[in-house]
Amino acid sequence: MSATTAQGRLVWLALAMGIFVGAASIRCLDAALPVIAGEFGRSIGTAGAVVTAYALSYSALQLVAGPLGDRLGPYRVISWAALGSAVFAGGCALAATFEWLVVLRFLAGGVAAAIGPLTLLWVSHAAPDGERAVAIANLTAASILGTTAGQVGGGLLSGFVGWRAVFVVIAVAFAVAGAVLVRAAGRHAQLRNVGRREADDRAAPSPMQLLRRRAVWLVLSAVGVEGFALFMSFTYAAPLLQARHGVGSAGAGLLIALFGAGGVAFVMGARAIVSRSSDGIRAAVAGMLAAAGLAALALGGPLALTAAALFMLGFGFFMLHNVIQLHATQMAPDAPGTGISLFAAMFFLSQAAGASIGGWLVDRAGTTLPFAASAVIIAGLGLVAGRAYSYQASTRWKAAK
């Protein structure tokens, strides 16, 4: 369905809302942990289980969502996941005990896991070839804004109304998105077939079979290096900013928000950037921009330079991630759902690994070394990816001749 029609715009808006609310759900309780701990008589550390439970199932269930999308079609699974997420979010709002809240958060994360990667897959098939990178960039903007809204909105709602109100808002938003998608599919049945694996006599390849393909492990290696390199250092940006510039938690949060602002700036300019450059050029330039931002943070300087570095890092990182995402949607045409779920799982796992190694480095060498190492790795990734994508484009052009 074309995004230019009224119904098409409504479907795309509902899909973006699903991405937005799913991202908000991950971070919506960060500021509410003291309130939850007080209500249920738990320590702050114990209360953190409501965040960990969601993140754990959200990461692990990626590998279940992909094969389901291949079998049933991504649109159908996204619709069910949005409605299921509404039910579990409502359950969290009504949770009578801490244990039930943790269980419901775990279930909510597992269901919501399907929304992000399968929406990426559906949009990559529904968008025309020339619009695919821009459409994917728009989903990235929804995710960035959702994460920010979850942190800020969750804190405001829990402070003024109560933490249960956070889940009421999330439940309503998921329910609206799911209802729009179900209603649209009732009128346009072909929506369910977009991105669905074509039925044939061959069995769908398993995740292990996909991992033996060069195109697949190259993309997974790229996103793994990317996630590891960024979160090895950026996870510890707040203490670096507080120590270097003497800002409090709120000030550090506002500075870190410039990273997201850089990502949104890329999205706003994505159409012009994509139309004027190849995948290879974008990957190389993005790597250099992100590396420059990380290097500036490692070296230090006045507050204005730090702010500019965070913005540049966000712009470069999301430009690079957009290129890798685009290739992820094309790396396993006979099992696209399974492929995109492997991509998402690798991205989340590499973030966790990077944060762990980064913490070890920070404890032993301070924050400068992780940021410097990240800059070198990201720069190398951008150059290698740029060369690889330029070679692929050249090979396709020669084959076309």
Same fold, 6-193 and 207-400: yes
Q: How would you class 99 by CB atoms within 10 Å of its CB: exposed for 0-12, middle for 13-18, buried for 19 or more?
A: exposed
pLDDT digits (tens, 9 = 90+) for 251-298: 777 888 888 889 889 988 988 998 888 889 999 999 999 999 999 999
Domain boundaries, the chain: 6-193, 207-400
Residues 215-248: tens digit of each pLDDT: 898 999 999 999 999 988 887 887 888 888 887 7
Per-residue confidence (pLDDT) for residue 179, from 0 to 100:
95
Output the pLDDT for position 294. Answer: 96
For 130-154, b/e burial (b = at least 16 CB within 10 A) is: eebbbbbbbbbbbbbbbbbbbbbbb
Start-to-end CA span in the chain (Å): 32
pLDDT of residue 173: 96
Q: How confident is the model at residue 401 (pLDDT cuts 50, 70, 90)?
A: very low
Return the half-sphere exposure (C-beta side, CA atoms, 13 A cut-off) of residue 207.
17
Cα 315 to chain center, whole Å? 15
- Tell me the mean pLDDT in the region 39-51: 83
Q: Which residue has the higher pLDDT, 194 or 331?
A: 331
Q: So what CATH class is 207-400?
A: mainly alpha
How much is the pLDDT for 397? 38
For the beta carbon of residue 289, count every other beta carbon within 10 angstroms: 23
| In CATH, 6-193 is 3.30.2040.10 | no
Q: How many CB atoms lie within 10 A of CB 275?
A: 10
- pLDDT score at 393: 54
Choose the weakest-confidence range: 47-56, 203-212, 259-268, 392-401: 392-401
- At 390 the three-state DSSP class reads helix
Report the distance separating Cα 293 and Cα 21, nearest Å: 29
Pairs from 366-372 (Cβ < 8 Å, separation ≥ 24): 367/233, 367/236, 367/239, 367/240, 367/243, 368/298, 368/299, 368/300, 369/298, 370/232, 370/233, 370/236, 371/233, 371/240, 371/294, 371/295, 371/297, 371/298, 372/294, 372/295, 372/298
Phi-psi region of 366 (alpha: psi -120 to 50; beta: other; left: phi over 0): left
CB atoms within 10 A of CB 396: 9
Average pLDDT value for residue range 87-109: 94
* Of 340, 311, 310, nearest in space to 325 by CA: 340
| Overall average pLDDT of the 7-29 stretch | 86
What single-letter DSSP state applies at residue 40? H
- Count Cβ atoms below 10 Å from residue 298 Cβ, excluding itself: 20
Contact indicator for 78, 117 with CB cutoff of 8 Å: no
pTM for the structure as a whole: 0.77
State how far the Cα of 333 lies from the Cα of 336, in Å rounded to an integer: 5
What is the per-residue pLDDT for 278?
Answer: 87
The answer to whether the beta carbons of residues 75 and 191 sit under 8 Å apart is yes
* CA atoms in the 13 A half-sphere facing the CB of 388: 16
Query: Running DSSP on this structure, what letter comes out for residue 130?
Result: G
